Amino acid sequence: MLRKTRFTPLAALFAVLTALGAYIFIPLPFTPVPITLQTLFVYLAGDILGELGALSQIVYILLGALGLPVFARGRGGVEVLIGPTGGYLMGFAAAAFIIGKLTRFKHAQTFVWFIFSNIIGTIVIYCFGIFQLSIWFGSLKKAIIFGVFPFLIGDLIKAWLAAYIATRNQIRKWMSLLKS
């Protein structure tokens, strides 16, 4: 478990990184959900901070709910959270928590396990996102077609990249210092 004094700045850092990831986006003309780098930082929050990575995502969501322009397209406010992309945003905290829990198993500190954990996190985000997007579209089938399929390859690449970063020796040494 990370010490609280060392965790707080890291949680803030991952909230900021997730916000910055929202500014790197590709709008898609056929769906209200853009491609962003946010999920990379959600994965890293869980991979590096453990289940406490969820707190960084809760901070991020709260900042956006308060109206700060931290969501994709520089938007903020509660209307984003109740809109078509709100489910994905809510899924960020759940995904970071689950990824963090999965990556903390002593026997599972491998690159492949981190990829697996990040893919499980992706599924969690998709479940939250599809639920809310299906309400917006009025169709579960449309929500899956327009809210999952366009993002699968990119999210798998980001899951791999986050696992690669999180399992590097320098990151592991740094994290062991934070835990002491």
**pLDDT value, residue 104:** 87
CA dihedral 64, 134, 128, 19 (to 10 degrees): -30
Return left, alpha or beta for 73; rule: phi > 0 is left, psi -120 to 50 is alpha, else beta: left
**Nearest C-alpha neighbor of 88 from the set 37, 31, 152, 131:** 131
**pLDDT value, residue 176:** 64
Average pLDDT, integer, range 120-136 = 98
Q: What is the CATH number of domain 4-172?
A: 1.10.1760.20
pTM of the model: 0.92
CA atoms within 13 A on the CB side of 48: 27
Average pLDDT, integer, range 149-171 = 93
Q: Judge whether residue 151 has pLDDT over 70.
A: yes
- pLDDT single digits (tens) 77-117: 999 999 999 999 999 999 999 999 999 887 778 999 999 99
Give domain limits for the chain. Answer: 4-172
- pLDDT single digits (tens) 58-76: 999 999 999 999 999 999 9
**Banded model confidence at residue 28, pLDDT cuts 50, 70, 90:** very high
